[in-house]
């Protein structure tokens, strides 16, 4: 009998150690934040049919756009704050696409039919697709929508915002990255 008691003690101790290790891992993961600076996690996003931004692609691979400024916007059709920024993001896409800036919308936890209705309602034309299995969202450690990242031509995240974009915010970042004189003060 004493031998069984000793094994029970070791099994109980092992269970406590495993529990504490899992708890510690959860706290570390919870404390990790979105990549506000540093290398942008690479991803591939299958695009919604008809939403390739005129680029003639079926999927968006971030690595394919190295050398360009890329704006990544996480959104969802059920997100009211996303609606606040939809027209502005589309206007910025139209303003900067001929200057080589790429916008991509990553649809988060959404039904494709609802997403298509949203894209049509707000007349979005830049590339958009569904984040299947939330793979991209997990890479970028988003905590909600909308969240927006700007990636510089070297593949580094240089701007991050976890709220709707306001007029002037992205323009300042994009103009600086493009070397535009519009942000130079006299």
> In this predicted model, what pLDDT tens digit does every residue of 65-111 receive, in sequence order?
999 999 999 999 999 999 999 999 999 999 999 999 999 999 999 99
Give ∠ CA 10-16-30 in degrees, rounded to 5: 155
Q: Is the pLDDT of residue 50 over 80?
A: yes
Closest CA to 45 of 65, 26, 17: 65
Q: CA dist 170 to 42, 60, 113, 144, Å?
A: 21, 21, 29, 19
- 131 vs 41: CA distance, rounded Å: 14
Which of the listed CATH numbers 3.90.76.10, 3.40.50.10860, 3.40.50.920, 3.40.30.10 matches domain 38-183? 3.40.30.10
Instruction: Specify the pTM.
Output: 0.80
Mean pLDDT (whole number) for 57-62: 98
Handedness of CA 57, 47, 52, 63 (dihedral sign): negative
What pLDDT shows up at residue 16?
74
Instruction: Report residue 35's pLDDT band, with 50, 70 and 90 as the boundaries.
Output: confident
33-42, 79-88, 120-129, 175-184: range with lowest mean pLDDT: 175-184
What pLDDT shows up at residue 33?
60
Closest CA to 129 of 64, 62, 37: 62
Quick check: helix, strand or coil at residue 21?
helix
Per-residue exposure over 157-170, b if at least 16 CB sit within 10 Å of its own CB, e if not: bbbbbbebbeeebb
What pLDDT shows up at residue 22?
59
| 114-170 per-position pLDDT tens digit | 999 999 999 999 999 999 999 999 999 999 999 999 999 999 999 999 999 999 999
Mean pLDDT (whole number) for 42-46: 98
What pLDDT shows up at residue 13?
73
Q: Is the pLDDT of residue 181 over 50?
A: no
Bridge-based pairing state of the strands 59-61 and 70-75: unpaired
């Amino acid at each position: 009998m004493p031998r069984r008691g000793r094994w029970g003690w070791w099994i109980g101790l092992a269970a406590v150690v495993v529990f504490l290790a899992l708890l510690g891992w959860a706290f570390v993961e919870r404390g990790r934040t979105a990549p506000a600076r540093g290398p942008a996690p690479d991803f591939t996003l299958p695009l919604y049919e008809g939403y390739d931004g005129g680029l003639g692609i079926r999927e968006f691979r971030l690595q394919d756009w190295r050398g360009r400024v890329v704006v990544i916007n996480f959104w969802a059709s059920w997100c009211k704050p996303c609606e606040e920024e939809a027209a502005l993001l589309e206007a910025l896409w139209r303003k900067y696409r001929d200057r080589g800036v790429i916008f991509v919308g990553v649809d988060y936890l959404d039904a494709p039919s609802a997403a298509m209705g949203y894209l049509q309602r707000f007349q979005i034309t830049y590339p958009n697709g569904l984040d299947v299995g939330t793979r991209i969202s997990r890479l970028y450690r988003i905590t909600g929508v909308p969240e927006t990242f700007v990636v510089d031509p070297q593949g580094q995240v240089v701007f991050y915002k976890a709220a709707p974009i306001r007029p002037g915010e992205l323009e300042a970042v994009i103009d600086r990255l493009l070397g535009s004189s519009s942000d130079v003060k006299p």
